[in-house]
Amino acid sequence: MNRSLQKIRATFELELDVSFPFPSTGVIFLILFLIAIGSVLLEGCFIAIAIAPHPPGVIPLDFDYIVWAQQNADFNLLAGPLFNLILFIIIVIPMLSAFKVAGPIEVGLLKTLLTYPIRRRDLLVLKVVEMLILTVLPITIGVLMGVVLIQWVSIGLTSFVLLLSFWVMASTILSTSVFLSLVTQSMTKSAFGGIAIWVVLYLVAAVTYIPNVIRGALNPVNLVLSYFNDTPGAAFFGVPFRNPVVHDVWGAIIINLVIGIIMLLLSVRQFRRVEV
């Protein structure tokens, strides 16, 4: 193996063992997976029944109707839980970033690591990749397994676009949180600051009528969901906007991705300046 790749691998292994000693990684992965699969199981029936056509007034809650409703719900069986899991990752990712980025600076562990031949850029990028995989991958696997194996819904292009928007949004939340961790260099400030910022943005995107691209840039999952259901999205404040079109969706995903990349580049720059 190439020497520089060997060094990156050695850095990754040391960093992982320092941050998450065995079996923490596996436990975190398993917990997030179970939360995701549980979310599909618990929400699936409600979402299916809520959106399935039924006679006005009474919903027939017999088994055949529920099965029929679930088959009709299709895309929404994946979209519903994923939309709600965004709230979950808005809490998990800033906390993880605070623990993995601000924590070592605050307690002095970073000083130890940076006296070894480890490049700051490599260390930060490895941390980001590690956090992204550790949070988004188990959730993705969990919801897909829940939908395909338990709800018997087939996965199509719509699901792919939805998952793409979920990954992009998670990456942006992550790079923003990492930047905040590096600026504050405090676990508490960065964790609660990151959560506060994204909860506000989530609510703005969810409950106000704003142009679709801006709404999608704040929460692309929300816009993708609206687009495939051909609705303007659930909003309460402002003047109703038109239903999103395909350009809105791709525009929103790209803007969100660009914001994430910019925040990551700023984080790498900031990390080089951190005095330990």
Partner 1 sequence: MATTPIIVAKDITKRFGQVLALDNFNLSTSKGIIGLIGPNGAGKTTFLRILLGLIPPDEGEVRVMGLESQHDSYEIRQRIGVLHEYPLYPPSMTVNLFLERVARLYTDRENVVELLDQVGLENAVQRKIGKLSAGMRQRLGVAQALIGKPELVFLDEPTSNLDVMARRELLKMLTQVHEENGVSFFIISHVLSELERVCSDVAFIKKGRTIVVGPLHEVIKQFASSQYHVVVSNPRLIVDDLASIEGIENVEIAGVKTISIALKDGKQDSVLRAIEEIARRKDVQVYEIEKASTLEEAFLKVMQHE
**Where in 65-124 is the site for partner 1 (CB under 8 A)?**
107-109, 111-112, 114-119
Interaction between residue 18 and partner 1 (CB under 8 A):
yes
Interaction between residue 54 and partner 1 (CB under 8 A):
no
Interaction between residue 2 and partner 1 (CB under 8 A):
no
Beta bridge partner(s), residue 208: 237
Reduce the DSSP state of residue 61 to 3 states and report it: coil
Q: Could you say which of 17, 84, 150, 269 contacts partner 1 (CB under 8 A)?
A: 17
> Nearest distance from residue 98's CB to partner 1, in Å?
18
> Nearest distance from residue 122's CB to partner 1, in Å?
10
> Nearest distance from residue 177's CB to partner 1, in Å?
23
Handedness of CA 6, 8, 11, 15 (dihedral sign): negative
Residue 240: cis peptide before it, omega within 30 degrees of 0: no
Backbone φ and ψ of 208, nearest 5°: -115, 150
Distance CA 31, CA 138 (A): 8
- For 85, the token pair is 């899991």
Give every CB contact of residue 241 below 8 A, 6+ residues apart in sequence: 209, 210, 211, 212, 215, 232, 235
Which x/- pattern, by CB under 8 A, does the window 119-158 give for partner 1? x---------------------------------------
> Nearest distance from residue 117's CB to partner 1, in Å?
4
Please report, as ranges, the residues that interact with partner 1 according to CB under 8 A.
3, 6-7, 10-11, 13-14, 17-18, 21, 107-109, 111-112, 114-119, 275-276
